[in-house]
Amino acid sequence: MEQIKIQAADKLKTKPDMKNLPFGTYFTDHMFLMDYEEGRGWFDPRIVPYGPVSLDPSAMVFHYAQEVFEGMKAYRTADGRIRLFRPMENIRRMNVSAERLCVPKLPEDIFLEALVQLTRLEKDWVPSESFASLYIRPFVIATEPHVGVHASSTYLFVIITCPVGSYYPEGVNPVKIIIEDEDVRAVRGGTGYTKCGGNYAASIRAADRATAKGYSQVLWLDGVHQKYVEEVGSMNVMFKINGKIITPSLNGSVLPGITRKSCLELLREWGYEVEERDLSVDELTAAAGSGALEEAWGTGTAAVVSPVGEISYKNRQYTVSGFKIGELTQRLYDTLTDIQWGKVEDTRGWISEVCRF
Ligand SMILES: *Cc1c(COP(=O)(O)O)cnc(C)c1O
């Protein structure tokens, strides 16, 4: 494995108020870069001062969106250790995304080493405030200067990091979501199961429409029949119906979330019956109408678990668990955050320690 060169910033930035951190706004002092050339592979892994990267206007990422990314966090425990949550899952998923987008795969060992070394160097940026963390955004872009559709012959791998506050500064509150029956996020055979920028570009219009109507998230339906539930915003979604947990299966258009996977592992461990299957909007609204729908929540790295308090479909509104966080949703939130912030011991091998002080 090639050694990672470190060029430290001459001058460190003044840190923002860590008690009032908006998401994704302040970036740390350094970033990780690595280049790729066809015939040569990945080379020159380096940590350099954070700053703009220079690209040719014809760089293929600008025209054909050949790009993949990841999202993960570093957490500081009360006794000053800094840790990552299941980082190999993010590394492997980025390579699954890369395969779909014809982006060259990243060597797992260099990727992990880059995450660890960058986080260590930026340790003072990992907030100690409750439920705050250092968000980590690895991504690869196609850089070949060429107009014409084919896989790029050159790429840049970048990791940037930013401190983020608690997703719920006022406590975990339920959200109102609206079922989108026009736009779709992804279709089977497309890129739905990957983390690529193009999926997000296609999702913005529906999100804007939902916001304008007073909803904070879109509940996406499948792209073929517009009948089956897929995801909520950029989170996976789970429902508790008559005591059973139902979540859409990983059918190709659903993103295989690491929080989703962790929740399902916990739920099975706790003895719940879990069904990964198609759930039609008719079945869901019938369950919501009859009271069989006991709880609903989204799962993702940013929010961990996000309780759903209201679902709107074709101008009808359905309240879920009395617009309060459900008991099981709360248990999942508490269990995962306790593991992530080191309030309980990790017995599942989910935590990788980066450093301790
Ligand atoms: C990232 C993402 C998720 C959640 O994945 P986690 O690994 O749990 O953060 C869910 N859906 C979409 C579309 C995503 O991009």
Average pLDDT over residues 134-140: 98
Residue 185 CA: nearest ligand 1 atom is 13
pLDDT at 170: 79
Please, which residues bridge with residue 139 across strands? 69, 158
Lowest mean pLDDT among 21-25, 68-72, 194-198: 21-25
Is 185 a pocket residue for ligand 1 (Cβ < 6 Å)?
A: no
Question: Residue 235 in contact with residue 303, Cβ under 8 Å?
Answer: yes
Say yes or no: CB of residue 133 within 6 Å of ligand 1: no
Q: Degrees (nearest 5) of the Cα angle 58, 234, 149?
A: 25
pLDDT at 323: 96
**pLDDT above 80 (res 357):** no
- Token couple for 132: 């705050």
Residue 191, ligand 1, Cβ within 6 A: no
Contacts 24+ apart (CB under 8 A), 314-318: 314/179, 314/181, 316/285, 318/285, 318/288, 318/289, 318/293
Compute the average pLDDT of residues 278-302: 97
Helix (H), strand (E), coil (C) string for 22-59: CCCCCCCCEEEEEEEECCCEEEEEEEEECCCCCCCCCE
Tokens for 320, please give them: 């879920």
Each residue's pLDDT tens digit, 118-132: 999 999 999 999 999
Question: Could you give phi then psi for residue 29, rounded to 5 degrees?
Answer: -80, -25
224-238 pLDDT per residue, tens: 999 999 999 999 999
Burial class (CB in 10 A: 0-12, 13-18, 19+), 108: middle
Q: Is the CB of 240 within 6 Å of ligand 1? A: no
- The pLDDT-based confidence of 242 (bands split at 50, 70, 90) is very high
> Among residues of the chain, what percentage have pLDDT more than 90?
96
How far does residue 8's CA lie from ligand 1's centre (Å)? 32
CB of 164 closer than 6 A to ligand 1? Answer: no
Calculate how far, in angstroms, residue 2's C-alpha sits from the geometric centre of ligand 1: 31
Give burial (CB, 10 Å; 0-12/13-18/19+) of 306: buried
For the segment 294-325, what is each residue's pLDDT rounded down to a tens digit?
999 999 999 999 999 999 999 999 999 999 99
| 232 three-state secondary structure | strand
Look at residues 135, 28, 26 and name the one whose alpha carbon lies nearest to residue 84. Answer: 135
Would you say the CB of residue 232 lies under 6 angstroms from ligand 1? no
